[in-house]
């Protein structure tokens, strides 16, 4: 049995990753989900967090935000709003986004605005976390 599967990660702007992987870990709504070759077929949602891809026994980590994942025994397709490798992230911009979102949390907001602001904080914190992992 092959020890890899084909993984494709796509955003509206680009094909972020396309190639063989040994494992992928995605942030699910109820926690992280790990996918290995020959996984049972499923479709699930992806939240905000770290995307981890194991390629040639090496892990690569990226920041991912919101999407869907289709899993088949020999391939996985991830459609996400955004995915960034650590080296693509502008740390100063992410810090500024985190501060803006935290300031908005301190203000009176509707329930929907509050949830959107919480998501903005999570996106910024994830982007900053993955940039620290490469240093």
**pLDDT reported for residue 135:** 47
The whole domain housing 45 covers 5-84
CA distance 113 to 74: 40
State whether 77 and 103 are in the same domain. no
3-class DSSP assignment, residue 29? coil
- Residue reference for tokens 């959107």: 116
- Residue reference for tokens 């790990």: 34
**What is the average pLDDT score of the chain?**
91
Structure tokens at 108: 């009176």
State whether 22 and 73 are in the same domain. yes
Give 3-state DSSP helix, strand, coil % of the chain, rounded to 5: 30, 45, 25
- Residue reference for tokens 């301190």: 106
State whether 65 and 107 are in the same domain. no
State whether 78 and 101 are in the same domain. no
Name the domain count of the chain.
Answer: 2
**Could you tell me which of 77, 53, 47 has the C-alpha nearest to residue 65?**
47
pLDDT digits (tens, 9 = 90+) for 67-116: 999 999 999 999 999 999 999 998 898 889 888 888 888 888 888 888 88
State whether 55 and 93 are in the same domain. no
Residue 1 has pLDDT above 70, yes or no: no
**pLDDT reported for residue 120:** 87
CATH number for the domain spanning 21: value is: 2.60.15.10
């Amino acid at each position: 049995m092959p020890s890899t599967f084909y993984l494709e990660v796509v955003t509206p702007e680009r094909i972020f990753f396309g190639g063989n992987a040994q494992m992928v870990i995605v942030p699910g709504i109820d926690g992280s989900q790990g996918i290995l070759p020959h996984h049972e077929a499923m479709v699930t949602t992806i939240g905000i967090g770290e995307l981890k891809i194991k390629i040639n026994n090496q892990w690569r980590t990226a920041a991912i935000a919101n999407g869907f994942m289709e899993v088949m025994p020999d391939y996985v397709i991830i459609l996400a709003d955004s995915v960034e490798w650590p080296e693509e992230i502008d740390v100063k911009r992410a810090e500024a986004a985190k501060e803006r979102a935290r300031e908005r949390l301190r203000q009176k907001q509707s329930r929907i605005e509050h949830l959107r602001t919480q998501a903005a904080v999570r996106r910024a914190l994830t982007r900053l976390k993955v940039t620290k992992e490469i240093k």
